[in-house]
Amino acid sequence: TRVRGSPQASASASRVLLRMLSPLPGRGSAHLVCLQLGPASHPGIPRPAMTAHSFALPVIIFTTFWGLIGIAGPWFVPKGPNRGVIITMLVATAVCCYLFWLIAILAQLNPLFGPQLKNETIWYVRFLWE
Amino acid sequence: MGSMFRGEEVALVQLFLPTAAAYSCVSQLGELGLVEFRDLNASVSAFQRRFVADVRRCEELEKTFTFLQEEVRRAGLALPVPEGRLPAPPPRDLLRIQEETDRLSQELRDVRGNQQALQIQLHQLRLHSAVLGQGHVPPLAAAQMDGPSERTPLLLSLGGPHKDLRVNFVAGAVEPHKAAALERLLWRACRGFLIASFRETEQQLEDPVTGEPATWMTFLISYWGEQIGQKIHKITDCFHCHVFPFLEQEEARRAALQQLQQQSQELQEVLGETERFLSQVLGRVQQLLPPRQVQVRKMKAVYLALNQCSVSTTHKCLIAEVWCATRDLPVLQEVLRDSSSEAGVSAVAHRIPCQDMPPTLIRTNRFTASFQGIVDAYGVGRYQEVNPAPYTIVTFPFLFAVMFGDVGHGLLMFLFALAMVLAEDRPAVKTAQNEIWQTFFGGRYLLLLMGLFSIYTGFIYNECFSRATTIFPSGWSVAAMANQSGWSDAFLAQHAVLTLDPSVKGVFLGPYPFGIDPVWSLAGNHLSFLNSFKMKMSVILGVTHMAFGVVLGVFNHLHFGQRHRLLLETLPELTFLLGLFGYLVFLVVYKWLSASATSAASAPSILIHFINMFLFSRSPSNQPLFPGQEVVQSTLVVLALATVPVLLLGTPLYLLCRQRRHSRRDPAGRQVGWVGHLPDSGVAGCWPLQATSLPPALQLVPSEVFMHQAIHTIEFCLGCISNTASYLRLWALSLAHAQLSEVLWAMVMRLGLGMGREVGVAAVALVPIFAAFAVLTVAILLVMEGLSAFLHALRLHWVEFQNKFYSGTGYKLSPFTFALEDE
């Protein structure tokens, strides 16, 4: 852990940063490209400007993608001496990459604990990732 | 499937070669490189074989070639590479080649000898002229030139007993390191009766033997008295000095010098002519030698191959036994027909049944060769067993990438490999001699795939030179947490670190769609999350890989006709593996899907559940994951334990029963033809035989069979546990790589980027800092970590994956070919 100077100084530095960022109003809307499937709106609590990530959509997209490569791809390999090797490669690549991606997304589906951030980071990210 | 799935069918072929055409047939076979000769004369020593005389003649020729090559090299010339097709010459040409070569070498030897002699002569002449021209002035003459001085009366006054006083001279040259000793010895031996003057030659003379320039010391000894003269001569002989006649008169000396100079000039001309002739001879050698070397080498190889054939009883033809791929049999027959066409009787090839295990042949192209190479480095597969190489093409780079995952490093590796692949046809690249470069170049396709997969896993780990990227917005909302927990500025100023709680509404918005969420790279507890993720990932990948290995064993059992092993070995193995460790994977995935942050404090611990499963106990504080979990777990453990005796006793009992049944059916001892089951670790030792053969079946010794199966069972069951744990190296190495990468960034690059507020300072400081960062990245993270991850991925393949189905105890088909060995 770093020894920090006076907390006032860091707070004021963050404020300067905030003022630098605020003249860019269109910044936040650039993020709103994802679909807004996700937790339903909670009455009474202001809806955060962050978009929610759905689970179903990436699963469908990636399953289709690797399914095309691994299941449909082998039908289009041209006949030749290397046909068997190429088909093996396609299927193995599809299985490995799909499995790896699936593990990554499943591990984050229901987190049991959250990230532990430094207060400077919280200051910065709070307003940047609006 | 392609031809890489299992080795090709190789047949034992018997060739009948008529004696007249045997040489040309074998020479043609060598050009094609199709077949491997079996040594039929193994019991005969090398000196008693049929063609030993021809082999010896070839070897003598090769000795002469070596001498010629040495001479060419000594003259500083290079031998050109032979071009074009150079078939082995017919045997009758050998005599002609031998004569030619002998003549050339004799000529070369004569010319060299002449040159040597001339050079020695020239050296002598030069020494002589140096001695004469050195300007040693005999002391008497000097005294005369001086005129009357104090010395003259002394000499003149000498009279009496020394009436016949006459000064004599010995002039010569001696090597400088002996000069001091010579002077000392002369003084000690003949003190007072001689005057010696030593002087070094002004120019350096070339030594005729070594060719190095050296200085000589010339001396002039003036003495009087016979005995002294004899002593001096003995001493100079002892020191191997060159002594030359020294004439007293100046003019005589000058005349002699002139004559010497004339002689040496003439000699130099002759020497020049000799050297011209020598270079001519060397030019002819350069032209002649390379193709002859290739031809004689081929000839010797053909005779060595012919030595392996046996002679038929009628002495009319040679019989050879070769291993040949079944696919190449028509080509073989055509080649034999063509090359024996002029002999009248044509060579015949026909297939015979084999008792020994045939060699393994797997055809590869330049892409698959490197992957087949790493499989073969562990062991060449047995004849026709399943080849792990086609799967290794993808799983090896993938497991490497799991341990190496970083977009930036993967991209660098990919670009390096791409450069090598695109430049692979350039001659400069192919003929490079550096061994390390050759190693990297040979594995260029391997590096290409490794880099490509590393880029992919780098994106999933969300690491690019240890920095995370926000391609999609993060799934964690700091603002929501801050708003709902009342994190005012003052509150934040008081607390250094705060944790986001996923159970608070709006904080966690969903899993990041591709990879690890970038917020984790900002978090202090990111290792807690990543460790849990990577450990579970390693176990899942490991169990999948191993189950795939067991499934590949099915193909072996089917191919070798051992269907009983499907039921008695593969099924119990799969049950054991999937029942225990497949269940662990199921628990992991179930917890991922069903856990909720609200009850995070009381979340069930998979580890404790797994331990209790084996101990048949329970921990009251650990909640079950799903209803009925205990029943399921107990059932699985009992099932897994039940498979152990099946694995241990199933196959041996079945085989013994079958043997007893067969012996009961054929009491005469004529067994049904199949080579006995060699109880290896799960791989058959049986290969399909011709229907005509009836080889004696190996008697199964019960104790051996049981022991082999016991070893296999223990190896498999204990191996399941240890191999699953071994896959945790995927976690360990990826953690090490991530940490090294982060430390390098934090300690090097961040210093440069965080430097100074003025515009210029950071820019100037960044140049050396980036240089250091780049060098350390390449040296530590790419080379060292790359080699480390390569090694561990290799180990995972060789041990954990291949010991489920691969035995690797075969040998390669090494065809008789004239291609150079360094291919």
Here the ipTM equals 0.81
CA distances B312 to B156, B228, B315, B317, Å, are: 104, 85, 5, 6
Chain B CB within 8 Å of residue A12 CB? no
> DSSP label at B485?
H
- Binary contact (A115, B398; C-beta < 8 A): no
CB contact under 8 A, B473 and A81: no
Contact between B244 and B88 under an 8 Å Cβ cutoff? The reply is no
Using alpha carbons, select from B134, B131, B217, B136 the residue that is nearest to residue B174: B217
Interface of B with A in 438-477 (CB under 8 A): 456-457, 460, 472-477
A residues 61..80 contacting B (CB < 8 A): none
Residues of A in contact with B481 (CB under 8 A): 114
Whether A21 contacts chain B with CB within 8 A? no
Q: Please give the interface size between A and B, counted as residue pairs whose CB atoms are below 8 Å apart.
A: 227
Q: Do A118 and B476 count as a contact with CB atoms less than 8 A apart?
A: no
Q: Which residues of A touch B730 (CB under 8 A)?
A: none
CB nearest B523 (choices: A34, A85, A115): A115
Residue B365: which of A84, A127, A125 has the closest Cα? Answer: A84
Q: What is the pLDDT of residue B677?
A: 41
Reported pTM = 0.80
Cβ distance B493 to A97 less than 8 Å, yes or no, reads no
Q: CA B6, B9, B10: angle at the middle one, nearest 5?
A: 130
* Residues in chain A within 8 Å Cβ distance of B543: none
What the block records as the tokens of B354 is 């084999």
Show which of residues 486-505 on chain B sit within 8 Å of chain A, judged by CB atoms: 487, 489, 492-502, 505
Q: Is A110 on the interface with B (CB under 8 A)?
A: yes
Q: B595 in contact with A at a CB cutoff of 8 Å?
A: yes
Instruction: Please judge whether B506 and A45 are an interchain contact, meaning their C-beta atoms are less than 8 angstroms apart.
Output: yes
> A39 to chain B, minimum CA–CA distance in Å?
7
Of B375, B481, B509, which to mutate for an interface test with A (greatest number of A Cβ within 10 Å)? B509
User: Using CA atoms, how far apart are residues B633 and B449, in angstroms rounded to an integer?
Assistant: 41
* Distance in angstroms (rounded) separating the CA atoms of residues B3 and B365: 11
Q: Is A122 on the interface with B (CB under 8 A)?
A: yes
Residues of A with Cβ-Cβ distance to B400 under 8 angstroms? none
Which residue of A lies nearest to B539 if distances are taken between CA atoms? A103
Of A92, A112, A114, the CB nearest to B500: A114
Question: How far is B714 from chain A, CA to nearest CA, in Å?
Answer: 30
Nearest to A50 by CA among B809, B431, B483: B483
**Residue ranges with strand state E in B612-728:** none
Residue A7 in contact with partner chain B when CB distance is under 8 A:
yes
C-alpha closest to that of B458 among B409, B396, B393: B409
* 8 A C-beta contact, residue B676 and residue B700: yes
- Looking at chain B from residue 164 to 183, which residues have their Cβ under 8 Å from any Cβ of chain A? none
Instruction: Name chain B contacts of A96, Cβ cutoff 8 Å.
Output: 394-395, 398
Residues of chain A positioned with their CB less than 8 A from the CB of B489: 11
Cβ pair B515:A121 closer than 8 A: no
d(CA B409, CA A38): 35
**What distance in Å separates residue A66's CA from the closest CA in chain B?**
13
A44 touches chain B (CB under 8 A): no
Q: Is A46 on the interface with B (CB under 8 A)?
A: yes
Reported as half-sphere exposure (CB side, CA atoms, 13 A), residue B669 has a value of: 3
From residue B527, give the alpha-carbon distance in Å to each of B295, B400, B512, B522, B731. Answer: 67, 21, 18, 11, 12
Are the Cβ atoms of A89 and B393 closer than 8 angstroms? yes
Series of mean pLDDT values for 10-residue runs along chain B (823 residues):
79 89 88 89 83 90 90 84 80 88 91 89 86 66 47 44 68 84 85 80 76 82 84 86 81 87 91 90 88 89 89 82 91 88 80 90 92 94 93 96 95 96 87 86 95 97 92 87 82 86 87 93 93 96 96 93 92 95 95 86 89 89 88 94 94 91 70 40 40 49 92 94 94 96 92 78 87 94 95 96 92 86 39
* Chain B residues touching residue A85 (CB < 8 angstroms): 2, 4, 368, 390, 393
A13 CB within 8 Å of a chain B CB: no
Asked if B731 has any chain A CB less than 8 Å from its own CB, the reply is no
On chain B, the residues whose CB falls within 8 A of the CB of A82 are: 2, 365
- pLDDT at A26 exceeding the cut of 70: no
Chain A: give the shortest CA distance to residue B304, in Å: 35
**By CA distance, what is B591's nearest residue in A?**
A110
CA atoms of B763 and A25, how far apart (whole Å): 31
Does the CB of A55 have a partner CB in chain B at under 8 Å? yes
**8 Å CB contact between A23 and A29:** no
Whether residues A113 and B600 touch (CB distance < 8 A) is answered with yes
What's the confidence (pLDDT) of residue B820? 64
Residues of A in contact with B593 (CB under 8 A): 106, 109-110
pLDDT of A44 strictly over 60? no
Closest residue in B to A4 (Cα) is: B496
**Number of C-beta neighbours around residue A61 at 10 A:** 12
Is A48–B479 a contact, with Cβ atoms under 8 angstroms apart?
Answer: yes
Rounded to the nearest angstrom, the gap between the alpha carbon of residue B128 and the centroid of all alpha carbons in its chain is 58
Quote the CA–CA distance of B576 and B804 in Å, as a whole number: 13
Interface test with B, best of A18, A120, A126 (most B CBs within 10 A): A126
Please choose, from the candidates B810, B576, B574, the residue with its C-alpha nearest in 3D space to the C-alpha of residue B678: B810
The shortest C-alpha distance from A81 to chain B (Å) reads 7
Print the SS3 string covering B178-225: HHHHHHHHHHHHCCCCEEEEEEECCCCEECCCCCCEECCEEEEEEEEC
B524–A83 CB contact, under 8 Å: no
